[in-house]
Amino acid sequence: MEPQIQPAALRRTRQREEARRAILDATEAILVEDGQDLLSIRKLALRCGYTAPTIYHYFRDKDGLIDSLLEERFSRLLQRVKKVEVTRDLVANLREYCRAFLRFAASNPTFYRVMMRGSSDGGERQIKSAEAARELMLVPLLALAQEGRLWTDDVDAAQQSLWAVLHGTVSLRLGSPKYAWSKNLSEVAVEAVLRGLVRSPQSRNGKGSP
């Protein structure tokens, strides 16, 4: 029989959750309105109604606060990637992973920008859920490499090329939102990189066309 949670303990748990939620929601609002550079604990305290010591109690510093917010958001990316229906077609799997990533980035532009900027000390942000999603997305690419179906033996270059196209596509849209980007940009970009990286099953044996 599981122990019952006492009302006082349950109330404290809810209060902690409410405090974290309010602080994260206020952080989100400031990031959307002002950007990461103008986020300060003082401004956040005024926005969320909790004191600076309380904020520091839940989050070690501004980077820790942003990391917690990003972790929550990018866990959604991980869930999207996990929902991709995996088939025996490695190229189709990789295509669907790319589409899931691009849809996520388009619907979460603020958090995408924050993740790409890195920490305030110049280091690269390591968001566990984002890293898990990235590793899962690369599974079909690594399988293609093992089958000898990549046009290069440099698997690192293949991975980096894929991410360069994905990040570049998102960054173009975010950097120039008023430009008349083609509605097919993402699809064409994904197809271009896949066709550039992957051999057909016949061409790996010297038969058939690329």
> How far is residue 200's CA from residue 149's CA, in Å, rounded to a whole number?
7
List the one residue out of 62, 60, 64, 72 whose CA is nearest residue 21: 72
Residue 102: which of 163, 179, 50, 36 has the closest Cα?
Answer: 163
37 and 84 assigned to the same domain: no
Structural domain contains residue 102:
yes
Question: Same domain, yes or no, for 80 and 41?
Answer: no
Give the tokens for residue 182. Answer: 């083609």
* Domain shared by 44 and 88, yes or no: no
Distance in angstroms (rounded) separating the CA atoms of residues 62 and 56: 9
pLDDT-derived band at 209, boundaries 50, 70, 90? very low
Q: Say whether both 185 and 86 belong to one domain.
A: yes
If one counts the domains in the chain, the total is: 2
Is there a domain that residue 64 lies in? Answer: no
Looking at residue 4, its pLDDT comes to: 59
User: Residue 121 has what DSSP assignment?
Assistant: T
Residue type, 117: R
pLDDT tens digits, 125-138: 678 888 899 899 99
CA distance 173 to 169: 7
Domain match, 48 and 104 both: no
User: Based on the domain organization, do 93 and 186 belong to the same domain?
Assistant: yes
Shared-domain flag, residues 44 and 130: no
20 and 50 fall within a common domain: yes
> Is the residue at 65 inside a domain?
no
Residue 195 has pLDDT above 90, yes or no: yes
Q: What is the pTM of this model?
A: 0.77
Residues 97 and 55 reside in one and the same domain: no
19 plus 95 within the same structural domain: no
* Contact status, residue 105 vs residue 133, Cβ threshold 8 Å: no
pLDDT band at 183 (very low <50, low <70, confident <90, very high): very high
49 and 76 inside one domain: no
pLDDT digits (tens, 9 = 90+) for 31-80: 878 877 888 999 999 999 999 999 999 998 888 898 888 888 889 889 99
**CATH number of the domain that 37 lies in?**
1.10.10.60
Residues 150 and 111 in one domain: yes
Question: Considering the domain boundaries, does residue 163 fall inside one?
Answer: yes
DSSP state for residue 198 in the 8-state scheme: B
Residue 54: inside a domain: yes
Domain holding 148, by residue range, is 70-205
